[in-house]
């Protein structure tokens, strides 16, 4: 499953449902930019990932490499500062590896 598909699935499962426009407002971008993320035409900039994860209420591991449905929001630790140094380094490495792929960043 692609990052775009995971963003869409996570966004649509939130209650109340979050529109592309509403998610875009979090980042001061258009709904068309969010749509481009969801269609895998672009990917979010690395500095947007923490806010995206919190907004979608999903863990980093699922957002970056998950398969299947996201864990329920109640089961998600949404605090990066709750991770130890090794876990933070692993998350940073995953984000950097993900962004090293040849996809346009937006």
Residue 105 lies in a domain: no
Domain-located, residue 104: no
Summarised one tens digit per residue, pLDDT across range 28-79 is: 999 999 999 999 999 998 889 889 998 999 988 899 888 999 887 755 454 5
Does residue 85 sit within a domain?
Answer: yes
The SS3 assignment for 1 reads coil
At what angle are helices 3-13 and 49-56 packed, to 10 degrees?
40
Q: Return d(Cα 33, Cα 44) in angstroms, integer.
A: 9
Query: Is a pLDDT exceeding 90 seen at residue 27?
Result: yes
User: In this model, does residue 81 exceed pLDDT 70?
Assistant: no
> How much is the average pLDDT of 12-18?
90
15 falls within a domain: yes
How many domains does one find in the chain? 1
Q: What is the CATH number of the domain that holds 22?
A: 1.10.260.40
36 domain-assigned: yes
- The model's pTM: 0.74
The angle subtended at Cα 18 by Cα 43 and Cα 3, nearest 5°, is: 25
């Amino acid at each position: 499953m692609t990052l775009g598909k995971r963003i869409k699935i996570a966004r649509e499962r939130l209650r109340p449902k979050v529109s592309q426009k509403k998610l875009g407002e979090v980042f001061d971008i258009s709904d068309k930019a969010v749509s481009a993320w969801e269609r895998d035409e672009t990917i979010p900039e690395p500095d947007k990932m923490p806010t995206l994860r919190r907004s979608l209420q999903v863990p980093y591991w699922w957002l970056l490499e998950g398969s299947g449905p996201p864990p329920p929001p109640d089961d998600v630790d949404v605090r990066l500062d709750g991770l130890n140094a090794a876990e933070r380094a692993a998350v940073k490495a995953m984000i950097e590896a993900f962004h090293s792929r040849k996809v346009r960043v937006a």
